[in-house]
Amino acid sequence: MQQAPKAIYQQILDENSRFLWERDFDSMAAQWVLPAEIGAYDKVIEVETPADLKAFAADFRDNLDTMGATAYYRYGLGADYIDGGCIVGTHTVFAMRGAEVVIEPFGSEMTLLLQPDGLWKVKGIITQANLSDIRSSPGNPRIEQD
């Protein structure tokens, strides 16, 4: 029996969020299929290599520290199989300092692809926010260049 897509989706969200928070960027990168895209209203970032993803993640994590975040959560709203090897879902992102929001919660959509080894990996994320609204610094020039 096939596992429920929302359970798979939430598991990947939880693992990637934990890896981001703990700065375990190698484990985070291992859960992605590259090349991939991280999209937002104001920018699409092409992630070609694990080094690109690690640089983007490290910069975003540094920004969470700068904003005083003490927790980072992503809550899955729903997910569906597109076919047997693809799941697309939506989630809300929360960056918190205690009970206070540090970044206004925003929605995102993530695509997962089933790999030949049976593992699900992230192919891309579309964020329903401007990167400039969820970042407190100009970021990594290598990632931010147009």
Helix/strand/coil for 103: strand
Distance of alpha carbon 87 from alpha carbon 44, whole angstroms: 21
State the DSSP code for 79.
Answer: E
Backbone angles phi, psi at 127, to 5 degrees: -100, 135
Cα Rg of the chain (Å, integer)? 15
Q: What is the mean pLDDT of each run of 10 residues along the chain (146 residues)?
A: 90 97 97 94 91 93 93 97 95 95 93 97 93 58 42
Domains, the chain, with CATH or none = 5-135 (3.10.450.50)
Q: Which amino acid is at 85?
A: G
Is 39 buried (19+), middle (13-18) or exposed (0-12) by CB count in 10 A? middle
pTM of the model: 0.88
